[in-house]
Amino acid sequence: MLIGRDGYRGPPTVDYLVERHVAYMCKAEQQRGKNRLLLFGVVLVVCSIFTLFNVQARASAHQSRPAYNCGDIYTGHCYGMTDWFGPQGSHLGGGETDEVIQPVNCYECAGGFLNNEIWVVDNTSSQKQYCTGTNVRACWVEAGYQGGSDGCGGIGFYGFECYFWSDSRPNGGYFNHFNALPSDNYNHHTRFKIKWIGNGSWDVSVNPLASSDGYWDSTSTNNTIYPQDEQIGQELSGSGVFYDNWITTVDYVNTKWADANVNFWYQGSKGSEFASNPPDETWGACCTNGGDFKAWVPQGS
């Protein structure tokens, strides 16, 4: 029995029931609002803690990544390489190596690039004094593939990873040449070959061994060098820290040198190894059929 505020005794009226229902709904909604506010507060605290932890973890990881300082695109570069000198009393007719193409992922290498390459170098003959296109008093032809913020011409026309070859010629300056690196060339061998063809010219070929895509043949002309050095390995420029997705180890196999008559022979020794650390280098096997030389930069941690 309902006893109303005005003394009414009897069954509940419709108005009363409506009033009670509305009061109940308002109270329930107020409680839900308090619950939502409490839940929001808990979520906010958890998110704040997670954000702080994540920032600290990223900062710690950034600090633990190995750093490097390898000059700029012109000077002060770092190397992980090996060098063969010879033949005595003569000159090389070229060089050749097969590289397993791996993604460079050098998007963070500020102001620089990472090359994986072969060089044929003249740093002993009378011609070297005329190679003034760089501040390195040497002449050479090189070929390989590269990546980086300033690699591949620095304009992204060939992508951020590409094939390239370069030459420093007596009285002829220094020149870079770039070509696309097809996606189906990755994780397969590409043969880089430099060969003397006479009349001051060198044939430079890029030959993907598992694909018809990417083949590239060019000529270094007006290049009267007499190289005595063959070198293979990595060249790094720029500065910064290494990131987790940087290049894995690159293998150089079936490395050959050519005599003055352009007969090619497998390298039979380790040569003179050099590592700026980074990049670093080692021999996986030496030296049947040119061996297996390895070069790499460290992964971020």
pLDDT value for 35: 52
Dihedral angle of Cα 209, 85, 221, 96, to the nearest 10 degrees = -10
Query: Nearest to residue 159, comparing CAs of 186, 136, 131, 123?
Result: 186
Query: Nearest to residue 293, comparing CAs of 45, 99, 44, 151?
Result: 99
Tokens 């011609």 map to which residue?
127
User: What single-letter amino acid sits at 12?
Assistant: P
**Which segments of the chain are extended strands (E)?**
2-3, 9-10, 67-70, 78-85, 94-100, 114-122, 139-147, 161-169, 173-180, 189-198, 201-208, 216-220, 229-236, 238-241, 250-258, 264-266, 272-275, 280-285, 292-296
What top-level class would CATH report for the domain 70-296? mainly beta
Give me the residues paired with residue 250 across strands. 295
Start-to-end CA distance of the chain, whole Å, equals: 77
Cα separation, 289 vs 121, whole angstroms: 22
Structure tokens at 42: 């808990």
pLDDT value for 41: 52
pLDDT value for 138: 87
pLDDT value for 241: 77
Query: Nearest to residue 87, comparing CAs of 268, 227, 255?
Result: 227
Predicted model pTM: 0.77
Give me the residues paired with residue 201 across strands. 198
Tell me the torsion sign for CA atoms 244, 234, 112, 240.
positive
pLDDT by residue, tens only, the chain of 301 residues: 433 344 444 454 545 444 554 454 555 555 555 555 555 454 444 444 443 444 344 434 444 566 889 988 788 899 999 999 987 778 999 999 999 999 888 766 666 888 999 999 998 888 888 887 776 778 999 999 998 877 787 655 566 789 999 999 998 788 999 999 999 999 999 999 999 999 999 999 999 999 989 999 999 999 999 999 999 999 998 888 776 666 678 999 999 999 999 999 999 999 999 999 889 999 999 989 999 999 998 765 4
Residues 33-83: pLDDT tens digits?
A: 555 555 545 444 444 444 344 434 443 444 456 688 998 878 889 999 999
Give, in degrees to the nearest 5, the angle at Cα 134 between 133 and 138. Answer: 90
pLDDT value for 110: 63
DSSP 298: P
* Residue 242 burial (CB count, 10 A): 20
Give me the residues paired with residue 257 across strands. 95, 265
